[in-house]
Amino acid sequence: MEGAEIRKLVLLEDEHWWYRERRHLLRRRVRDLAPGQALDIGAAGGGNTRVLESLGWDVLALEFSEEGAQVARERGLQVIRADAQRLPVEDASLDLVTALDVLEHLPDHERAAAEIHRVLRPGGVLVAAVPVDQRLWSEHDVAVGHERRYEPREFLALLQSAGLEILEARSWMVLLRPAVAWRRRSSSGSDLDEPHPLVNAALTGVVRLERVLPVSRAPGVSVFVTARRPH
């Protein structure tokens, strides 16, 4: 993601419906884990890093871009600049790795998945999310630097081939998928912008319905996966 996009993200993410719900999903997946050593890959401005800190994790933010790393430092976070395909972390040293909307940016996602397996301790957990369905590909994906959109089974196979065990996989943004598909047909760049407060409130309400409706296996815009390195 370009520096300008990261700065834009930082200004938006505290109140933006999409980022707020993504942080909720992350929190829900790690809240029952005993806090330990964590790595937030592709941290950008550190919104997800702060979620982990609030739950008691000793977390290091990893960001490839200079701008993103600087923003994370400005927020008082522990941060290093590094490539997710070559993690500067010791073998079997982490209890948790998060990679939310990261792997789709990487040319060698197989190596990145293998690196995640390497740095996790046996029993250590990965929480990952990626965009799905190549039919939704648009100028938005180009603008934010995506290499691909996945099919859910393809993404699970990627993690399993790296030696990880899938614990949970669920679709996200199922209810808003038709609206996303319609908007992407005419997309001319990144969809990262500040919605009108009423629109933000309405979209927040819709996406929160997925917390209680049985739609986690229906086609969505993203897939959230929890996996672990087997004992």
Residue type at position 210:
E
* Total-model pTM: 0.93
Query: Which structural domains are found in the chain, ordered by start?
Result: 3-228 (3.40.50.150)
pLDDT, tens digit, 9 for 90 and up, residues 161-186: 999 999 999 999 999 999 999 988 77
- Quote the pLDDT of residue 41: 98
Tokens of 181: 């598909």
- Quote the pLDDT of residue 116: 98
CA within 13 Å, CB half, 216: 9
Tokens of 196: 């009108």
Query: Is the pLDDT score of 188 beyond 70?
Result: no
Contact by Cβ (8 Å): 174, 220: yes
Residues 6+ apart with CB under 8 A from 74: none
- Quote the pLDDT of residue 139: 86
Over the Cα atoms of the chain, what is R_g?
17
Q: What is the DSSP string of 168-197?
A: EEEEES-TTHHHHHHHHHT--S-------H
Q: Is the model more confident about 158 or about 75? A: 158
Tokens of 204: 């927040």
- Alpha-carbon distance values, 21 to 27, 58, 85, 87 (Å): 10, 23, 27, 28
- Quote the pLDDT of residue 202: 97
Which band of pLDDT confidence, cut at 50, 70 and 90, is reported for residue 28? very high
Tokens of 85: 């395909």
pLDDT, tens digit, 9 for 90 and up, residues 128-141: 999 999 999 998 88
